[in-house]
Amino acid sequence: MKISVLFPAAGSGERLGRGPKAFLEVGGKTLLEWALEGFEWADERIVALPPGAGFTRPGVRTVVGGPTRQGSVFNALRVASGTLVLVHDVARPFVVRAAVERLLQAVRGRGAATLVAPVPDTLVENLHHEYGETLPRERYRLVQTPQGFERELLWRAHLAAQAASTEFTDDAQLVISLGHPVALVEGDRRMFKVTYPEDLLLAEGLAQVWEG
């Protein structure tokens, strides 16, 4: 089955405050390069870039991203040709091959799946800066990427969300809103998202010992 990997890379990196994260360097490579390398085996790779960004790479297609992550994925998806598509945040530079294999197996069987990680800490409601109700953390998961779908299913989900003007922070929510279940697959904590300035230090450290 032909597999396309879509890379939303068009975010502005506001919480980190150093411009688009795709072009930040960690261990001598940009986050975009790290993410692309993690999927070199794929049949097709498509990157949604910030408007005006110049990036070319043999064998990698580029499109202009949208104003939201969902819009960026949509722009990449419309040119994708795989039977299955994986969507992977460029802000997650460390791609653990074993986790991606687990995901692919679930997508082939169930049509839609996402990597998730357990919640390591006690989870509490912030009640005006006071300790509110605790949530049973074993019932919750942190959503990672890649997420994988049959391309036709994800396309229908995006069209439906557009028609309804709904905006989601990941593709699993789009597919669920169509009524299709999304399987949860064990991810890997090394596939964390570089979001805040201190995450860059963690990424720099991991880059030094990374063996791919």
Q: How far apart are CA 40 and CA 21, in angstroms?
A: 20
Which structure tokens are listed for 20? 């688009």
**What does 103 interact with, of Mg ion, ligand CTP, none (CB < 5 to 8 A by kind)?**
none
Nearer to Mg ion, 11 or 148 (CB): 11
Residue nearest to ligand CTP (CB): 11
Q: How far apart are CA 149 and CA 134, in angstroms?
A: 33
Number of residues that bind Mg ion (CB under 5 A): 1
Concatenate the DSSP letters of all residues of 2-19 into one string: -EEEEEE-----TTTTSS
What minimum distance in Å lies between the beta carbon of 200 and ligand CTP?
13
103 CB-contact burial (10 Å; exposed 0-12 / middle 13-18 / buried 19+): buried
x/- site string to Mg ion, residues 4 to 43, per CB under 5 A? -------x--------------------------------
C-beta of residue 158 within 8 angstroms of C-beta of residue 174: yes
Per-position b or e across 84-93, b if 16+ CB within 10 A of its CB: bbbbbbbbbb
What minimum distance in Å lies between the beta carbon of 39 and ligand CTP?
14
**What does 68 interact with, of Mg ion, ligand CTP, none (CB < 5 to 8 A by kind)?**
ligand CTP
Give residues 74-113 in contact with Mg ion (rule: CB under 5 A).
none
Nearer to ligand CTP, 48 or 182 (CB): 48
**What does 96 interact with, of ligand CTP, Mg ion, none (CB < 5 to 8 A by kind)?**
none
What minimum distance in Å lies between the beta carbon of 73 and ligand CTP?
7
The H-or-E segment that residue 126 falls in is: strand 123-127
What minimum distance in Å lies between the beta carbon of 68 and Mg ion?
8
Closest C-alpha to 96, from 14, 161, 38: 38
What minimum distance in Å lies between the beta carbon of 133 and ligand CTP?
27
Binding positions for ligand CTP, rule: CB under 6 A: 8-16, 21-22, 48, 65-69, 72, 89-91, 193, 195
- Rounded CA Rg of the chain: 17
Nearer to Mg ion, 15 or 78 (CB): 15
C-beta of residue 86 within 8 angstroms of C-beta of residue 152: no
What minimum distance in Å lies between the beta carbon of 161 and ligand CTP?
15
Which residues form the interface with Mg ion (CB under 5 A)?
11
